[in-house]
Amino acid sequence: MNRGQRLIELFIPYEKYDAMQALRAAGNILEESHEATGTRVKVLIAEDKLWKVKGRLE
């Protein structure tokens, strides 16, 4: 893992699926599983880019 990066797990509801595009642009998706109401991902992402993605989920 690179310095300044975090491995996190996020749940992206389908109605906020534009956050997936932000995740793909900003980080490295390691796992992705689709559920009834959204997608669960494990992603390696720089801490300074994480706020952009979390902002789309609010």
The whole-angstrom separation of Cα 23 and Cα 43 is 8
What pLDDT, on the 0 to 100 scale, is given for residue 28? 95
- Between 3 and 45, name the one with better pLDDT: 45
Which pLDDT score, from 0 to 100, does residue 1 have?
A: 55
Q: Specify which residues 29 forms β-bridges with.
A: 43
Question: What CATH code is assigned to 5-57?
Answer: 3.30.70
Which residues fall within 8 angstroms of residue 30, CB to CB, at 6 or more apart?
7, 41, 42, 43, 44
pLDDT at residue 48 in the model: 87
**In the predicted model, is pLDDT for residue 2 greater than 70?**
no
pLDDT in tens, 7-53: 999 999 999 988 999 899 999 999 999 999 999 999 999 988 888 88
Name, in order, each residue with C-beta under 8 angstroms of 1's C-beta and a sequence gap of 6 or more: 7, 44
Domain residue spans of the chain: 5-57
